[in-house]
A and B are shown apart, each in its own frame.
Chain A
């Protein structure tokens, strides 16, 4: 079947399904190699044990790079096809053979959407792994670290190239596991161990939503493949579609740290900084956005589900930004920022066909600049004896020039200064939010606009507190520039922060590329519209405000008490307190009640019966005196009774 014929058959359904999927040919055929490289690395490093200590980190980097190179080859091959034939499928093996209606093949779907992620994951992943070679240099467990990182890359690739929801779910759980292992990589720190558990548990809530969504899909459509579900989506009732959409959103909220499952991300910063950069900024936390965009045909059919996605996104982008404004821990400030930026992506994804491509564009450029910012933070932390309190930094610009410059690139990108990438990817989201029209459009757009101002404020604050002003570090510290193995990935990411946005967005390159998967946006935006000038003005004012507070005056080494809002933001806007009072305490009561009932009720019955039997046996056994004559007497009595009974029957 040709692509056009397949398109004609399903064309009426929705734009996403309009392009049929063709079997992969040529360079794409062994697509499983994408996963096989990092999987091999993970297996060798994790099973090989200490024998692989000497060269483990090199193998880890090499496997990730090999996957990246192959990803580039696939990308080049894909660009060679006409736009309608770019979705290619590779059937790898039958995972679950037919059980009734249930049949799952492990198939890999290579299309414009998945290849974007493949390149992001393996590309940024490789850079971060190279950085980690230097960053983890003194860690005796460096080999294990690289094993877990390869495990993460494998799972993340499975998540994005799977052609059905079940395999996606396997990858989804795999990245959750890798995230847990890596947050708790330094298990000897209680904070890290607790943070890992917290992340795992918060993610379970989301994962339960995703798995329920998949079950509902199977119950409704009898299939869990993208093709099967999307092809039949228009025939299901609106209620079911909305339910599936909301369950998928719950899954996305867990993985992407969106409200109300946001609490784990800030604590996840206990992990090594490369982990924060790769998993908790650039890739894994964006999996929720991928899930929403991938499920576009479902969300296209349910305006309510889309609306909720936008609400979650808008609420989280403000929530994260406010937290980011108050944190003194550089990594937590960046984590708040990550939450906020993913909120932008969710907002865009919730805007439907107008925003899917924008969400992916912001995701990709965010991958560059946020990874770069985190690596910069890691570089600073590395040189400051693991100090992360920005109040003890200051004046590092002269001590660490390369880090300063690359960090500045990331900074300019995230606050959206042209020509840096954030400008090209964030402004269209704000504009599209306003374009939604009506009250909701105005509210969402305003939230996004305020978020842009807050972003400028907190990022300027981070810049000023870390790199300028008086040196507030201890006298015995001598920060100097990191080795080239750490600075070169930072430089490459800085270049990405500068160029990615323009590269993706000018003349709609990415939007056109993604069109076969997510459909065509109804409106197109030129850059430098009045709104974007307005946004830019707001950014400059906010940055200026931050300069007035943190640049012109000296930053006190101990944090001032601050206003009510600051105190709240330092406590993650009481997210943990809410979880504790609403979920944890009632949960504890419930367990205590259950334990009490189990002890007194269930065990009580059993124990009473057992005690009664035991007590009566103890008394009855006294009959066994050991005196032969008493036994003889009992025999006599027994015989007499027997005879008596016989006589009685006879009579």
Chain B
């Protein structure tokens, strides 16, 4: 059996990759994928802890996270599509009108 610590380590690695991706990438789609990666890293942590503690709470929360992620993707992609149509660009740095 793989030690739970490995799950957690993988989760942290995925989360950091996702986080760095959100911070450094300009393409909105990639940013989105990185967000998904972070969410799934969290899911992995939840499930790993669920195994560790031997109860189902972590697994249930992982389902909630998936549902929320799915809903978020729907809304987010819709916004992305319309921004791309309007501005011919998917760069998050171009959509900076809402500022001081």
Q: Which residues of A contact B (CB under 8 A)?
A: 621-622, 624-629, 632-633, 636
Q: B residues 60-100 with Cβ under 8 Å of A? A: 92-93, 95-100
- Interface mask (B30-53 → A, CB under 8 Å = 1, otherwise 0): 010000000000000000000000
The verdict on B23 contacting chain A, using a C-beta distance below 8 Å, is: yes
Separation in Å of the B20 CB from the closest CB of chain A? Answer: 10
Contact A628 B99 (CB under 8 A): no
A639's nearest neighbour on chain B, judged by CB, is: B19
Separation in Å of the A326 CB from the closest CB of chain B? Answer: 76
B25's nearest neighbour on chain A, judged by CB, is: A629
Contact A626 B92 (CB under 8 A): no
The verdict on B14 contacting chain A, using a C-beta distance below 8 Å, is: no
Chain B residue numbers with a CB within 8 Å of A626 are: 96-100
CA of A615 to CA of B96 in the docked complex: distance in angstroms? Answer: 24
Contact B93 A622 (CB under 8 A): no
With known contacts A627-B92, A627-B93, A632–B23 Cβ distance under 8 A: yes
Contact B92 A621 (CB under 8 A): no
Q: Which of the residues A622, A624, A629 comes within 8 Å of B23, measured between beta carbons? A: A629
A628's nearest neighbour on chain B, judged by CB, is: B92
Chain B interface size, as a band, is 10 to 19
Separation in Å of the A156 CB from the closest CB of chain B? Answer: 70
Q: Which of the residues A622, A628, A629, A632 comes within 8 Å of B100, measured between beta carbons? A: A622
User: Total number of A-B contacts with CB less than 8 angstroms?
Assistant: 31
CA of A625 to CA of B22 in the docked complex: distance in angstroms? Answer: 17
Residue among A622, A624, A627, A633 having the largest count of chain B Cβ atoms under 10 Å:
A627
Contact B100 A624 (CB under 8 A): yes
Main SS of the interface on chain A?
Answer: helix
CA of A626 to CA of B99 in the docked complex: distance in angstroms? Answer: 4
Q: List 27 A-B contacts (CB under 8 A).
A: A621-B100, A622-B100, A624-B99, A624-B100, A625-B99, A625-B100, A626-B96, A626-B97, A626-B98, A626-B99, A626-B100, A627-B92, A627-B93, A627-B96, A628-B31, A628-B92, A628-B95, A628-B96, A629-B23, A629-B26, A629-B92, A629-B93, A632-B22, A632-B23, A633-B23, A636-B19, A636-B23
CA of A269 to CA of B93 in the docked complex: distance in angstroms? Answer: 82
By Cβ-Cβ distance, the 8 closest A-B pairs, closest first, are A626-B99, A626-B96, A621-B100, A628-B92, A624-B100, A624-B99, A632-B22, A627-B96
Separation in Å of the A627 CB from the closest CB of chain B? Answer: 5
Separation in Å of the B37 CB from the closest CB of chain A? Answer: 14
Chain A residue numbers with a CB within 8 Å of B99 are: 624-626
Chain B residue numbers with a CB within 8 Å of A629 are: 22-24, 26, 92-93
CA of A56 to CA of B95 in the docked complex: distance in angstroms? Answer: 78
Chain B residue numbers with a CB within 8 Å of A632 are: 22-23
Separation in Å of the B92 CB from the closest CB of chain A? Answer: 5
Separation in Å of the A617 CB from the closest CB of chain B? Answer: 10
Separation in Å of the B21 CB from the closest CB of chain A? Answer: 10
CA of A628 to CA of B23 in the docked complex: distance in angstroms? Answer: 9
14 more A-B contacts (CB under 8 A) besides A627-B93, A629-B93? Answer: A621-B100, A624-B100, A625-B96, A625-B100, A626-B97, A626-B98, A626-B99, A626-B100, A627-B92, A627-B96, A628-B95, A629-B22, A629-B24, A632-B23
Chain B residue numbers with a CB within 8 Å of A633 are: 23
Separation in Å of the A142 CB from the closest CB of chain B? Answer: 68
Separation in Å of the A474 CB from the closest CB of chain B? Answer: 78
B98's nearest neighbour on chain A, judged by CB, is: A626
Q: B residues 1-37 with Cβ under 8 Å of A? A: 19, 22-24, 26, 31
Chain B residue numbers with a CB within 8 Å of A636 are: 19, 23
Chain A residue numbers with a CB within 8 Å of B24 are: 629
Chain A residue numbers with a CB within 8 Å of B93 are: 627-629
CA of A426 to CA of B31 in the docked complex: distance in angstroms? Answer: 110
CA of A626 to CA of B92 in the docked complex: distance in angstroms? Answer: 10
CA of A633 to CA of B31 in the docked complex: distance in angstroms? Answer: 13
CA of A250 to CA of B21 in the docked complex: distance in angstroms? Answer: 90
CA of A627 to CA of B98 in the docked complex: distance in angstroms? Answer: 9
Separation in Å of the A637 CB from the closest CB of chain B? Answer: 11
CA of A632 to CA of B99 in the docked complex: distance in angstroms? Answer: 15
B95's nearest neighbour on chain A, judged by CB, is: A628
Chain B residue numbers with a CB within 8 Å of A627 are: 92-93, 96
CA of A628 to CA of B22 in the docked complex: distance in angstroms? Answer: 9
Chain A residue numbers with a CB within 8 Å of B22 are: 629, 632
Chain A residue numbers with a CB within 8 Å of B31 are: 628
CA of A633 to CA of B100 in the docked complex: distance in angstroms? Answer: 18
A635's nearest neighbour on chain B, judged by CB, is: B22
A618's nearest neighbour on chain B, judged by CB, is: B100
Separation in Å of the A15 CB from the closest CB of chain B? Answer: 87
Separation in Å of the A631 CB from the closest CB of chain B? Answer: 10
CA of A625 to CA of B100 in the docked complex: distance in angstroms? Answer: 7
CA of A624 to CA of B93 in the docked complex: distance in angstroms? Answer: 13
Residue among B22, B31, B97 having the largest count of chain A Cβ atoms under 10 Å:
B22
Chain B residue numbers with a CB within 8 Å of A624 are: 99-100
Residue among B24, B26, B31, B100 having the largest count of chain A Cβ atoms under 10 Å:
B100
CA of A624 to CA of B98 in the docked complex: distance in angstroms? Answer: 8
CA of A402 to CA of B98 in the docked complex: distance in angstroms? Answer: 92
